[in-house]
Structure 1
Amino acid sequence: MKEQTKPAEPVRPTAPTAPGTTLDLLYSETEEELRSAVRSLLADRCDAPGVLARIETGRPHDPDLWRTLAAGIGTAGLLVPEKLGGQGASHREAAVVLEELGRAVAPVPYLTSAVLATEILLGCDPAEAEAGALLRELASGRQICVPAVPLTLAPGAPLPPAVRDSGAGALTGTVTSVADAVAADVLLVLADTGLYAVPAASATVTAQVPLDLTRPLATVGLDAAAGTRLADPATARAAIAGALLSGAGLLASEQLGLAEWCLAETVGYVRGRHQFNRPVGSFQALKHRLAQLWLDVASARAAARAAADALATGAADAPLTVAVAQAYCSGVAVRAAEECVQLHGGIGMTWEHPAHLYLKRAKADSLALGTAGHHRALVADFAELPAP
């Protein structure tokens, strides 16, 4: 049995940058300490053989890992104010966590619960008893809350038709492609009369067959399910729109972590693999490919950090910065994973090697919260560039 990782001290926030100041892409000491704690936990409890074994059972989520990550280290409450039981940190710290989760393709509902659901609740009135109580539960890691919206829903795109409220908060409708619904305790449901918190046990959650087996999708069916109203329709839609923006910006950090792992793993492999009495990595063609990939990853790091910093500081150009990050990081993650599989040769195509997990996560992430094409169109709109 592996020795349990000792929970780290609760994360303290990085001082926010005042609006109008220079963009800060560097990692602070606090962020590096957080990275070290999360990486240590994942190395101990979320290695590739373990992830593959959980996938084969059909239940990828690891509740013990989630409890330690969410409550022991305190990452679930990074975006929640201290007065509501959270860490009172910022998107910069959450981005560091997602980088490490991307490096490990960790099967935990961090993006959906600690980012999307948390941002939606913060976009409502957290002073209200229901929303505040749910935020405390999320920040403590005692409950997992997932938005009942398709994972492909993008910032700036029209929200899907709302679930119907047949009266007194009895909700009826179906939502497809809901990420992590199989692990959720509470679902946030957009209805025609507002936003509702619905116990997952009151819904019919039917697992779908996802491309990324570490982030399961499901169809959520509601048949007169009772929900607690958290916000009116206008507030609910604004809250979801804000959460989608934050989610897309922080997803770029997950894609960055994924690409970094693929690059490092591939470089290590071609250094040790020999052909014609020479390391494969000494061949010039492979050197050029890996050098270009290194440049792509370095640029992706700048884009992802810029998005996290813009969200953390509430910058006016945050929507543009997020769109740029997603438009770029999405493609880099896919290229890095493809190169990882290809340059590992035959072993890269096997189930036992984790390269396929990274390729599937990269491909799935390229569709999550808006495709690269959608975000490029947003960049064009922000820059007032006419369509061809």
Structure 2
Amino acid sequence: MEFRFTDEQQMIRETAASFLADCSTSAAVREAMVSESGYDLSFWRQICDDLYLHAITLPEEQGGMGLGYVELVAVMEQMGRYLACAPYFSTVCQAVPALQLSACSQASPWLDKILGGTTAALAWIGQEAPACEAVTATFEATPNGYRLQGDYQLVVDGHSAEILVLAARQPGTSGTSGISLFAVDATAEGISRQWTPTLDQTRHLGRIQVDSLLAVDACLGEAGQAGPVLEQVLQLATVALAAEQMGSAQQVKDLAVEYTRERVQFNRPIASFQAIKHKAADMMLRTEVARSACYYAACVADEAWRGGALAAELPEAAAIAKSYCSDACFRNAGEALQMHGGVGFTWEYDVHLYFKRAKASELMLGTASEHRETLASLLLDTDQTEEGALS
């Protein structure tokens, strides 16, 4: 496995960084985050039309770039660095994989729309539970289609997305069994949406209530068989979110170090104080460890995306990356606040925005503790299986 970026991957990373440094400035982020949509449409059009970053994982035969998750992670790292307010995570890292991995003809028209710049969101959370256990919406087959009923919470960009991919289960099922994915126009009859303001103003969440009769072709693939697809989609999204967290951890460390070089106390920059140096060194170490975990997970995710030999390692790699990156992002943001002193909490400085994003991202798609429990269960199950085979 190669852990270095190729020249092409490095070019994509640098292009994204340069673009976001110019367009996702502090002023731009603050202007976008107070709007109901949570992003500026012209900024999204630049991402799609000028850089084509929304088409990274879409297949070449459909007009996409035909690349994989290493390239996507390189972009998401920069999205995290500059707190990009755009429906990129919801569209490219959640909805697109759900459509593509469904591997059905019904997904093609929706992917074509996304290729043209249409935004999308994936909704599955009905209750607080891990992965597929969170799906509480139900569907039933009728002579005229599927009757879908549910209340979806915490949907990233769910209030503003133009396409919705909805997860629902057959009544009486649990876990990954009985789950289907439905792709619908967000303005369809029987769907109501509202913005749910949260701690993190730079990423908007929505609530979606559905009581609708959907056409037969709204179901992606065979009814009741999408549980494993949803599970893999959430694991891939976890890797992408970890990359964003790692980028935020890097940027908040850089902001803190820059500030301590300028802040003078006792006639010297506070960056020269040993206590500050120790904090900065710890922040750098956490970021580098998180980067290693994230890049490894990106390689595994790429294998899983292409159906490679390491696909079975995706749950473990995603859990490792998210646990390390969640810790690095949140702890670095906390340290940065301390290094800024009292002004770190004020509106004028961007550190508080990174702190809020860090906390919100820590809770999204599983906390660090929950992912460590996942790792423990994976390792223990493996050990028990091996012991049983030996005996």
Residues 48 and 368 from structure 1, CA distance in 2 versus in 1: closer, same or farther, beyond 3 angstroms? same
- Secondary structure of 1:183's partner? coil
Q: Is the 8 A contact 2:157 2:204 kept in 1?
A: yes
Letter in 2 for 1:120: A
Q: Is the 8 A contact 1:256 1:300 kept in 2?
A: yes
Letter in 2 for 1:63: L
| Deviation (angstroms), 1:107 | 1.1
Residues 157 and 231 from structure 1, CA distance in 2 versus in 1: closer, same or farther, beyond 3 angstroms? closer
1:265 corresponds in structure 2 to 255
TM-score by length of 1: 0.88
1:215 corresponds in structure 2 to 203
Name the CA distance, whole Å, in 1 between partners of 2:128 and 2:184: 20
TM-score by length of 2: 0.87
- Alignment counterpart, residue 132 of structure 1, candidates 97, 108, 111: 108
Letter in 1 for 2:203: R
1:19 corresponds in structure 2 to none
2:68 corresponds in structure 1 to 90
Residues 40-60 of structure 1: CA distance to partner in whole angstroms, max 9, x if unpaired? 221222101121122234442
Residues 319 and 57 from structure 1, CA distance in 2 versus in 1: closer, same or farther, beyond 3 angstroms? closer
Query: Percentage identity across aligned positions?
Result: 31
Q: Is the 8 A contact 2:194 2:206 kept in 1?
A: yes
Name the CA distance, whole Å, in 2 between partners of 1:253 and 1:152: 26
| Deviation (angstroms), 1:279 | 0.8
- Secondary structure of 2:34's partner? helix
Q: Is the 8 A contact 2:123 2:166 kept in 1?
A: yes
Name the CA distance, whole Å, in 1 between partners of 2:45 and 2:187: 20
Higher relative contact order (CA 8 A, sep 6+): 1
1:107 corresponds in structure 2 to 85
1:49 corresponds in structure 2 to 27
Matched, 1:292 2:288: no
| Deviation (angstroms), 1:81 | 1.4
Alignment map for 1:225-304 (pairs within 5 Å):
225-227=213-215, 228-304=218-294
2:122 corresponds in structure 1 to 147
2:168 corresponds in structure 1 to 191
Name the CA distance, whole Å, in 2 between partners of 1:157 and 1:296: 31
| Deviation (angstroms), 1:265 | 0.8
Matched, 1:182 2:172: no
Mark the runs of 5 or more structure 2 residues left unpaired by the alignment. Answer: 171-179, 305-309, 384-391
- Alignment counterpart, residue 341 of structure 2, candidates 341, 345, 350: 345
Residues 21-52 of structure 1: CA distance to partner in whole angstroms, max 9, x if unpaired? xx322222112211222122212221011211
Residues 151 and 372 from structure 1, CA distance in 2 versus in 1: closer, same or farther, beyond 3 angstroms? farther
Name the CA distance, whole Å, in 1 between partners of 2:93 and 2:32: 24
- Alignment counterpart, residue 352 of structure 2, candidates 330, 333, 356: 356
| Deviation (angstroms), 1:263 | 0.6
Letter in 1 for 2:200: D
- Secondary structure of 2:355's partner? helix
Provide the alpha-carbon RMSD of the alignment. Answer: 2.0
Q: Is the 8 A contact 1:174 1:219 kept in 2?
A: yes
Residues 46 and 324 from structure 1, CA distance in 2 versus in 1: closer, same or farther, beyond 3 angstroms? same
